[in-house]
Amino acid sequence: MRGVRWVDEQLVLDTDVPEPRAAAGDVVVDVAAASICGTDLHFMRTQPQAVVIGHEFAGWVDGVPCAIEPTVFCGRCAQCRGGHTNRCVGDEHTNIGIYRDGGLADRVAVPAYAPVALPDGLDVRDASLVEPTSVAWHGTRRAEIEPGERVAVVGGGSIGLLAVACVRHLGHDVALAARHPHQRDAGERIGASGSPVGEYDVVIETAGSESGLVRSAELLRPGGRVVLLGNFQPAAPLPGVPTLVKEITWIGSAGRGRHDGGVREFAESAAVLAANREIARAIITHRFPLADAAEAFGWPTTAPAAASRSSWSRRSSSGGRQSYARKCGMTCSPIWRIVSSIAHCGTVPIWFRNRISSAPASMSRST
């Protein structure tokens, strides 16, 4: 079996990964789609683990298409009992694809509670977007947006775009502060009203940068609140004077959990994607075979700046060849998410999910 690992500071496609065995309480997923995000890259560089990577993935469990929630939790501690499984303090707390084998592989064993059946309207090939959508959904819910409040998102990468989608799903208008035209275009496709004008009651920061924090404070009305979805390393340099003068409330957010007696934010996030298919169309742009994983990871920093088309193909259950292609409306730059789609016939496509931080670049790729 194949799986992608990080070995000696290199990305390696291991073709001799042992077949997963479902221990007590586990199920085996036949992976259909998986992705890599900036968090994975950070852990590979700072805390490399000898596991198959990939915590954003979807596939089939006993023939049922599912997205996989990657958080492993104890279910017994006070945090878990309160629905905050993302804040589990039990010894079992870990993450699939970071500290145990993940989804950039043909198959993987996961806890039986991890799969969430996909709603109608969400293709399993797009369903690795459920995990990052759940991050954005959790942060949007943490904002506790009231009817009539003005909302802005700072940052036009994939989490920023998904935050736009989540705010719109809740029925609120939302502006998007993005650096590049292709980010703004994608935001408008998903439902953003345009660039921010004036002051806002709620700002969702997704850039993970000092300039993003400054812009968030600038946009916020006095007494407003900012949700922090950006990944700050090693610390978030909050703007001091605006924080004091405006009495800004900064709200941390990570992962996803449960609410109202067990409603799963992960399942709600799948519903967000199913309700608006344009989200996946706007965010997924490129596809690569798993065999070219190293090339796919390196491509965002080396690709030429030209628009093109990417495609992949797989065998249908009847043996016929099905082809899929996507026009590259947006393209990649460093620290983009990469999504792989895995077919049982042995063709393992990978496509990109955009986390855009520079001008567009594109390449043509087919399998």
Give the pLDDT confidence of 72-101 residue by residue, as tens digits: 999 999 999 999 999 999 999 999 998 899
Q: Domain 3-132+260-353, what fold?
A: Quinone Oxidoreductase; Chain A, domain 1 (3.90.180)
* Nearest of 188, 225, 189, 190 to residue 205 by alpha carbon: 225
Pairwise CA distance, residues 235 & 349, whole Å: 36
pLDDT digits (tens, 9 = 90+) for 28-43: 999 998 887 776 666 6
The whole-number pLDDT of residue 42 equals 67
355: CB partners within 8 A, 6+ apart: 37, 38, 157, 158, 159, 335, 336, 337
How would residue 107 be classed by pLDDT, with cut points 50, 70 and 90? very high
How would residue 335 be classed by pLDDT, with cut points 50, 70 and 90? very low
Task: Out of 59-68, 97-106, 201-210, pick the least confident.
Answer: 97-106
The position carrying tokens 């909302």 is 151
* Nearest of 217, 161, 153 to residue 189 by alpha carbon: 161
* Nearest of 332, 96, 142, 90 to residue 254 by alpha carbon: 142
pLDDT at 346 over 80: no
pLDDT at 179 over 80: yes
The whole-number pLDDT of residue 347 equals 29
How would residue 234 be classed by pLDDT, with cut points 50, 70 and 90? confident
Pairwise CA distance, residues 254 & 247, whole Å: 23
Per the rule left: phi > 0, alpha: psi between -120 and 50, beta: everything else, 225 is beta
Residue ranges of the chain assigned to CATH 3.90.180.10? 3-132+260-353
Query: 330, 354 in Cβ contact below 8 A?
Result: yes
Q: What share of the chain is helix, strand, coil (3-state, %, to 5)?
A: 30, 30, 45
pLDDT at 338 over 60: no
The whole-number pLDDT of residue 207 equals 94
The whole-number pLDDT of residue 41 equals 67
Per the rule left: phi > 0, alpha: psi between -120 and 50, beta: everything else, 332 is beta
The whole-number pLDDT of residue 86 equals 97
* Mean of pLDDT values over 207-236: 94
* Mean of pLDDT values over 12-18: 91
How would residue 185 be classed by pLDDT, with cut points 50, 70 and 90? very high
Task: Out of 5-9, 56-60, 256-260, pick the least confident.
Answer: 5-9
Pairwise CA distance, residues 64 & 203, whole Å: 38
The whole-number pLDDT of residue 44 equals 66
Pairwise CA distance, residues 66 & 58, whole Å: 6
* Mean of pLDDT values over 130-158: 97
Query: What percent of the chain clears pLDDT 90, i.e. is strictly above it?
Result: 65
Query: 363, 305 in Cβ contact below 8 A?
Result: no
Residue ranges of the chain assigned to CATH 3.40.50.720? 141-254
In this structure, the number of other CB atoms found within 10 A of the CB of residue 256 comes to 28
pLDDT at 257 over 60: yes
Largest CA distance in the chain: 66
Residue 120 DSSP class: T
Phi then psi dihedrals of residue 175, to 5 deg: -100, 155
Residue 9 DSSP class: T
* Nearest of 105, 30, 11, 7 to residue 340 by alpha carbon: 105
The whole-number pLDDT of residue 182 equals 92
55: CB partners within 8 A, 6+ apart: 37, 39, 40, 70, 95, 96, 97, 98, 102, 103, 131
Hey, which of 264-273, 309-318, 351-360 has the most confident mean pLDDT? 264-273
334: CB partners within 8 A, 6+ apart: 300, 301, 357, 358
* Mean of pLDDT values over 45-70: 90
Chosen CATH of 141-254 out of 3.30.1380.10, 3.90.1640.10, 3.40.50.720, 3.30.450.40: 3.40.50.720
In this structure, the number of other CB atoms found within 10 A of the CB of residue 42 comes to 13
* Nearest of 136, 311, 125 to residue 231 by alpha carbon: 136
Query: What percent of the chain clears pLDDT 70, i.e. is strictly above it?
Result: 78
In this structure, the number of other CB atoms found within 10 A of the CB of residue 214 comes to 15
CA neighbours closer than 13 Å in the CB half-sphere of residue 356 = 28
How would residue 298 be classed by pLDDT, with cut points 50, 70 and 90? low
